[in-house]
């Protein structure tokens, strides 16, 4: 044992009553200004306990139990507003509109504590938790004699409030069961309250019908305009509740009527909102003190009625168009439908996105009809395995384990078990918000790299079982198709492009990074085009081997020929799309190289002490560092290609001009192909509203192409007019062409498409550097 004087003695700071506080703000500011960026100062004695103790107590922003001067406990927790008092029709109308605004604010992602739960009327209905719907009244704890005396409050407003809560219950139940991000997409916290989930919806309809009937009976007693406005809101609440009640059952009902009925009612509500009278006292932030919350009270969220209606109108329209997703027409068409719907601007609400998640896969079926295994097989058949024995083998039909078909079926079942979930998740990830889509894909692309290697091993085993004939190359070497790993590689390359293109949409890249990132997008497109050409080569070879049987008009051969032709059409469609992306990326890359060369491209406003081109490249390539194929481009090669080292301005300008011309033709061809693969040329669109969105997206891209053509022409004209460069220009970092360049922000009218950042270029005055 250690002697007593050898025990470590803990240091303790002693604060005496003689300490005199003084203001150290100026001293602290002066000391902090001497710190370098990234430098930290840590006091070993300033612990977490002391940090929490430093929070200001008795501040109403931090202390929910704080009482102001002259405020007693009852005044702090309760409001003087009487929810049983009689209201005028105008006041009831105003409260309805206020509740709708708070409901939409909740849909937008604000907590219930700052929106609907600030309503004194809703608080009275929900707390204490009612055991029956009849118990959920405004006169709880009092005599119920007022109910018949004030039907505007106890019948009309109560029916509206209860139906609103039930709508919120359906929304909460759907979102909470799907993949979402708390306080980023939606806040599901209920603060120890119930949204009447214990009650069936039928009694709510009865209450609404009673309220509507009562309003109809008052035509001769009250103002007709106010009554009609009130009835419109009750009818809307009834139809909206019906739409929310459908939920995932819309796959079976295919009913658009509830939300279709809501749209004209929203127009009437917008016109009649002026008839209402606001009752601000019926909403109070003090209710937050009674909620089960771990955060201090926050200010009430208020949005105006026009914004609330706009959000609600989009929600209803998205719910209507959502049904165009339901009809299954193959994986490619399904992917286009889901992605186009969820890429709308503004993005559909979290409820719609959660509903799409449920529709994509529910009880191991796609759209409630197609088994996941069949869905994966359809995807393989469309792209790499048209009419293949690998997809036709079934262990139920063959009972002899030694039969190669039995072994093939066994191996393919293992493939489905391993690959079905990641494949379905590529669809489900599109239901997230745009930032989370990119973040999720940055993680899943690593998984797909591993899946590709697993698929390659499986291909080698299946090749011997299926006795696949080799394809002889021009140099005499034999090669095989490797269909499963080819399909996995295709999926991975799609994710590569998505990460890069979402980076442009989310403004991740600084202006000086745009040349390099558009080059890298072009590099990935070129890799993808080469891979699709390889898949096409094996599909064509299979089609040639099948021609003798087709000539003999054998039934099986004709079916195989049709499947092969369908696959070739899809490959041609994919090629056209990727060529369009590749050409546009090449043109923007060349355009930005010219702007950067002549120092007219905007850059970071302040010098970045802890940054360099090499470090930025490592940061941008971080999602791809562990990917084995395609290999990461070394920085030195990337830098040479990004700045087009060794190419003159004339060569770069010609490169941009030719590429933008090719891009416009390719996007025209993409638009002519249409959004979906159809069985016949004259067939009507299976999803007209979504195809219209898809066409609008392509047309916006074409507009961006035209803008890029104009920008390239402006640069060409400026280069032709430039004066000979003075020797001092290089040292002075002075632009050599007379141009002004602006990078349009996302969402601005000058940004025709989020994925294509076309600079706004105009003739300007060359700024003369100031002498220092």
- Rounded distance between C-alpha atoms, residue 27 and residue 32, angstroms: 9
Beta partners for residue 223, in sequence order: none
Q: Classify residue 518: in a domain, yes or no.
A: no
- Rounded distance between C-alpha atoms, residue 171 and residue 323, angstroms: 18
Q: Classify residue 308: in a domain, yes or no.
A: yes
Task: Give 648's contacts (C-beta < 8 A, 6+ positions apart).
Answer: none
Nearest to 705 by CA among 661, 639, 763: 661
**Conformation bin of residue 77: beta by default, left when phi > 0, alpha when psi is -120 to 50:** alpha
Q: Classify residue 62: in a domain, yes or no.
A: no
pLDDT for the residue numbered 77: 60
Rounded to a whole number of angstroms, the CA Rg of the chain reads 33
The distance of Cα 154 from the centroid of its chain, to the nearest Å, equals 42
CA-CA distances (angstroms) from residue 663 to 523, 602, 703? 16, 25, 12
Count of CB atoms situated within 10 Å of the CB of 287: 22
Q: Classify residue 743: in a domain, yes or no.
A: no
Q: Are 630 and 554 in contact (CB under 8 A)?
A: no
Buried b / exposed e along 133-143 (16+ C-beta atoms within 10 A): beebbbbeeee
Q: Are 760 and 742 in contact (CB under 8 A)?
A: yes
- Rounded distance between C-alpha atoms, residue 53 and residue 47, angstroms: 10
Phi, psi of 421 (to 5 degrees): -65, -50
- Rounded distance between C-alpha atoms, residue 83 and residue 74, angstroms: 17
pLDDT for the residue numbered 73: 57
For 60-145, where are the alpha helices, taking DSSP H only?
73-77, 89-107, 120-126
- Rounded distance between C-alpha atoms, residue 691 and residue 337, angstroms: 8
Parallel, antiparallel or unpaired: strands 478-479 and 739-742: unpaired
Low-confidence ranges of the chain (pLDDT < 70): 1-18, 51-78, 141-149, 395-396, 604-610, 723-735, 765-772
Phi, psi of 610 (to 5 degrees): -110, 25
- Rounded distance between C-alpha atoms, residue 83 and residue 124, angstroms: 8
Instruction: Kindly tell me the number of DSSP H helices and DSSP E strands found in the chain.
Output: 27, 6
- Rounded distance between C-alpha atoms, residue 40 and residue 456, angstroms: 49
Q: Classify residue 727: in a domain, yes or no.
A: no
- Rounded distance between C-alpha atoms, residue 699 and residue 687, angstroms: 18
For 217-330, where are the alpha helices, taking DSSP H only?
224-246, 250-253, 257-272, 305-321
Q: Write the DSSP symbol of residue 48.
A: H
Q: Are 753 and 729 in contact (CB under 8 A)?
A: no
> Using one digit for the tens of pLDDT, what is the confidence trace for 222-274?
899 999 999 999 999 999 999 999 999 999 999 999 999 999 999 999 999 99
Q: Give how many domains the chain has, as a whole number.
A: 1
Task: Give 760's contacts (C-beta < 8 A, 6+ positions apart).
Answer: 711, 741, 742, 743, 744, 750
Q: Are 713 and 668 in contact (CB under 8 A)?
A: no
- Rounded distance between C-alpha atoms, residue 94 and residue 99, angstroms: 9
Q: Classify residue 174: in a domain, yes or no.
A: yes
Beta partners for residue 119, in sequence order: 283
Q: Are 60 and 66 in contact (CB under 8 A)?
A: yes
Phi, psi of 472 (to 5 degrees): -85, 125
Q: What angle do CA 422, 427, 429 make, to 5 degrees?
A: 85
Q: Which H/E stretch holds residue 761?
A: strand 760-763
pLDDT for the residue numbered 766: 44
Q: Classify residue 607: in a domain, yes or no.
A: no
The distance of Cα 249 from the centroid of its chain, to the nearest Å, equals 24
- Rounded distance between C-alpha atoms, residue 504 and residue 438, angstroms: 11
The domain of 195 spans 89-325
- Rounded distance between C-alpha atoms, residue 391 and residue 375, angstroms: 12
Q: Classify residue 28: in a domain, yes or no.
A: no
Three-state DSSP at 283 gives strand
- Rounded distance between C-alpha atoms, residue 136 and residue 141, angstroms: 11
């Amino acid at each position: 044992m250690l002697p007593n004087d050898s025990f470590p003695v803990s240091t303790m700071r002693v604060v005496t009553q003689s300490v005199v506080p003084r203001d150290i703000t100026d001293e602290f500011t002066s000391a902090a200004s001497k710190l370098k960026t990234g430098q930290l100062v840590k006091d070993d004695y300033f612990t977490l306990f002391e940090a929490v103790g430093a929070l200001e107590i008795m501040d109403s922003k931090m202390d929910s139990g704080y009482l102001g001067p002259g405020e007693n406990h009852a005044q702090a927790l309760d409001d003087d507003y009487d929810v049983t008092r009689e209201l005028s029709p105008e006041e009831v109308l105003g409260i309805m509109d206020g509740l709708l605004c708070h409901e939409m604010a909740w849909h937008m992602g604000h907590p219930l504590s700052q929106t609907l739960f600030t309503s004194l009327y809703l608080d009275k209905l929900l707390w204490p938790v009612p055991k029956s719907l009849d118990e959920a009244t405004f006169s709880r704890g009092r005599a119920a004699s007022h109910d018949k005396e004030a039907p505007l409050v106890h019948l009309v407003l109560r029916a509206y409030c209860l139906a609103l809560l039930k709508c919120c219950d359906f929304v909460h139940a759907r979102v909470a069961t799907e993949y979402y991000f708390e306080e980023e997409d939606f806040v599901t916290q209920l603060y120890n309250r119930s949204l009447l989930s214990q009650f069936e919806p039928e009694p709510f309809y009865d209450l609404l019908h009673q309220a509507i009937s009562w309003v109809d009976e008052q035509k001769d007693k009250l103002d007709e305009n106010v009554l009609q406005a009130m009835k419109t809101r009750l009818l809307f609440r009834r139809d909206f509740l019906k739409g929310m009640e459908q939920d995932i059952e819309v796959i079976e009902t295919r009913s658009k009527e509830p939300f279709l009925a809501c749209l004209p009612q929203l127009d009437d509500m917008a016109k009649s909102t002026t008839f209402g009278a606001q009752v601000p006292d019926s909403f109070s932030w003090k209710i937050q003190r009674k909620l089960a919350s771990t955060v201090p009270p926050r200010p009430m969220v208020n949005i105006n009625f026009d914004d609330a209606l706009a959000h609600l109108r989009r929600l209803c329209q998205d719910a209507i168009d959502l049904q165009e997703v339901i009809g299954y027409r193959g994986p490619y068409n399904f992917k286009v439908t889901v992605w186009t719907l969820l890429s709308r601007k503004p993005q559909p609400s979290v409820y719609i996105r959660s509903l799409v998640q449920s529709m994509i896969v529910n009880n191991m079926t796609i759209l409630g009809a197609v088994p996941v295994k069949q869905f994966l097989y359809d995807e393989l058949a469309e792209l790499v395995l048209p009419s293949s024995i690998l997809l036709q083998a079934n262990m139920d039909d063959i009972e002899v384990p030694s039969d190669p078909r039995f072994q093939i079926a066994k191996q393919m079942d293992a493939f489905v078990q391993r690959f079905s979930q990641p494949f379905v998740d590529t669809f489900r990830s599109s239901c997230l918000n745009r930032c989370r889509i990119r973040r999720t894909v940055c993680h899943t692309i690593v998984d797909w790299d591993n899946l590709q290697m697993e698929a390659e091993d499986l291909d080698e085993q299946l090749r011997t079982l299926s006795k696949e004939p080799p394809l002889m190359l021009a140099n005499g070497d034999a090669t095989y198709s490797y269909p499963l790993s080819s399909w996995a590689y295709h999926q991975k390359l799609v994710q590569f492009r998505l990460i890069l293109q979402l980076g442009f949409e989310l403004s991740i890249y600084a202006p000086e990074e745009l040349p390099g990132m558009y080059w890298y997008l072009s590099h990935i497109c070129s890799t993808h085009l080469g891979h699709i050409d390889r898949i096409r080569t094996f599909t064509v070879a299979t089609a040639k081997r099948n021609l003798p049987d087709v000539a003999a008009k054998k039934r099986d051969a004709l079916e195989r020929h049709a499947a092969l032709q369908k696959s070739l059409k899809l490959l041609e469609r994919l090629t056209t799309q990727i060529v369009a992306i590749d050409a546009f990326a090449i043109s923007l890359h060349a355009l930005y190289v010219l702007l950067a060369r002549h120092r007219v491209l905007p850059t970071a406003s302040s010098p970045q002490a802890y940054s360099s081109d090499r470090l930025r490249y490592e940061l941008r390539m971080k999602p791809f560092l562990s990917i084995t194929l395609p290999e990461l481009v070394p920085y030195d090669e990337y830098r040479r290609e990004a700045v087009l080292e060794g190419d003159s301005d004339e060569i770069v300008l010609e490169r941009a001009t030719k590429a933008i011309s090719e891009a416009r033709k390719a996007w025209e061809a993409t638009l002519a192909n249409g959004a979906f693969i159809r069985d016949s040329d004259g067939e009507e669109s299976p999803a007209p509203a979504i195809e219209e969105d898809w066409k609008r997206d392509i047309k916006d891209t074409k507009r961006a192409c035209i803008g890029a053509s104009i920008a390239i022409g402006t640069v060409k004209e400026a280069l032709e007019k430039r004066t000979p460069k003075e020797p001092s220009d290089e040292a002075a970092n002075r632009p050599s062409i007379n141009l002004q360049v602006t990078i349009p922000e996302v969402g601005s009218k000058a940004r025709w498409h989020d994925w294509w950042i076309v600079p706004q270029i105009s003739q300007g005055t060359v700024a003369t550097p100031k002498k220092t």
